[in-house]
Amino acid sequence: MFYKTHFMTKYSIGIDISKSDFHASFSTIDEKQYVKVIRSGTFKNNKIGFEAFDKCIKTTCSISGIPVSFTMEATGVYYENCALFLFSKGYNVSVVLPNKSKKYIAALGIKTENDKVDAKALSRMGAEQALEIWAPMGEFFYHLRSLTRHNQSLKEMRTVINNQVEAAENCMYVDKVSIRSLGKLIKALEIQIEENTEAITAHINANEPVAKKIENITAIKGVGVLTVAVILAETNGFELFKNIAQLVSYSGYDVIENQSGSHTGKTKISKKGNSRIRRALHMPSFCLVTHDVKVFKDLYERTVDKHGIKMKSYVAIQKKLLGIIYTLWKKNEKFDENYQSKITTKEEKVEHSSRISFAEAV
């Protein structure tokens, strides 16, 4: 009892969750960073299971004054209800990406993979590390994300079927019945895409402050409502970002260097971030140059002159555009074509640095 009272520093509960149930592993960590599993159990992934889990937490983590933390993976949408329940109870919940937890588990030398082992590893991860605290997405942006992601899915399906039509029309023996059937599917998808786009617009217009901010941002030639809607939906209205550098990293535009000793490899963006944001910014980057929007056209010409690779320059524009959208949203200002946005990411602090000038082009 003396050991627990005076040396325990934290309760850590790891949760491996699936559609129907979840496995929880309860651990403690002491001053010497020794992690000890004290309990484990399986609960239903529903309200009844959450209530039973809460009773188990209060019974197991009974020493007052000792913090309790929870760590779980972002497995689709199955973790959301459990995380929201724990958040509503005032617990500190951390949600980590599966690739991060898997690398941690691999570093421990664990080769077995099952619910119990994964929950135990997550509890140890939460005990040893100071993970970011999770907060639920606001209801407005949660619904907006659902609509924008569905829009992307519909367009991807349309692309797949269009490719099938092209293949069917150019094969050795043309099957007109299949082509007609595929054509009907494309028309049906076109109707659904139009309805979904209207639903996105209606949802935005229902929130006047959001609609006004989006109107300010879409003053940028070549940037449409859907582009801004995707970015806002995927970032919860930039709620959890304190600066542009965090947003850049979250979106996968952060620069990765490959240099050790005398070896100097290619410098590139990580692409380890939200691919939906990068996808949404892809076409607008071309439009900004086509429409001769000064701040972006200047960046494009400057970077192309340095390395001659157009696609790198378009990626630099995407990164710049993301930073400007963030700034306009936070300041609630309308885009001014003559305004030079000052991006304060690590790569752009020194304007004339050779490393910086290359980094903004990748």
Q: Domain with 31 in it: what CATH number?
A: 3.30.420.40
Q: Is the pLDDT of residue 346 over 80?
A: no
> Does a structural domain hold residue 156?
yes
Number of domains in the chain: 3
Is the domain of 26 the same as that of 118?
yes
Asked if residue 149 and residue 254 are part of one domain, the reply reads no
Query: What are 275-321's pLDDT values in tens digits?
Result: 999 999 999 999 999 999 989 999 999 999 988 889 999 999 999 99
pLDDT value for 257: 55
Q: What is the predicted pLDDT for the residue at 256?
A: 64
pLDDT of residue 299: 92
341-345: long-range contacts, CB 8 A cutoff, minimum separation 24: 341/295, 343/244, 344/243, 344/244, 344/245, 345/244, 345/245, 345/248
pLDDT, residue 1, reads 42
pLDDT (0 to 100) of residue 348: 44
- Domain of 184, CATH number, reads 1.20.120
Query: What sign results for the dihedral spanned by CA atoms 178, 179, 181, 182?
Result: positive
Residue 223 shares a structural domain with residue 348: yes
In the predicted model, what is the mean pLDDT of residues 338-344?
51
- Asked if residue 69 belongs to a domain, the reply is yes
Q: Are residues 100 and 161 in the same domain?
A: no
Is 235 contained in some domain?
yes
342 and 242 inside one domain: yes
In a domain, 70, yes or no: yes
Phi, psi of 103 (to 5 degrees): -65, -40
Q: Both 257 and 304 in a single domain? A: yes
Answer yes or no: is 65 within a domain: yes
pLDDT-derived band at 105, boundaries 50, 70, 90: confident
Which of 190, 206, 222 corresponds to the end of one domain?
Answer: 206
Q: What is the pLDDT of residue 284?
A: 95
Q: What is the pLDDT of residue 269?
A: 66
pLDDT at 43: 96
Helix, strand, coil percentages, rounded to 5, for the chain: 55, 15, 30
pLDDT, averaged across the chain: 86
CA dist 88 and 136 (Å) reads 10
Averaged over 165-191, what is the pLDDT? 94
Residues 22 and 155 in one domain: no
238-278 pLDDT tens trace: 987 888 988 998 888 877 655 545 545 566 666 777 899 99
My answer on whether 184 and 302 are in the same domain is no
Range of the domain at 25: 2-128
Q: Which of 87, 105, 128 is the last residue of a domain?
A: 128
Residue 229 has pLDDT above 70, yes or no: yes
Is there a domain that residue 9 lies in? Answer: yes
Last residue of one domain, picked from the residues 173, 189, 206: 206
Residue 152 pLDDT: 96
In this structure, are 346 and 220 located in the same domain?
yes
Q: Establish if 133 belongs to a structural domain.
A: no
Which regions of 192-299 does DSSP assign to beta strands (E)?
255-256, 259-260, 263-264, 268-269
Domain membership of residue 134 (yes or no) is: no
Do 219 and 354 fall within a single domain?
Answer: yes
> Are residues 264 and 340 both part of a single domain?
yes
- Please state whether beta strands 35-44 and 255-256 pair in parallel, antiparallel, or not at all (unpaired): unpaired
Greater confidence, 360 or 39?
39
The reply to whether 151 and 220 lie within a common domain is no
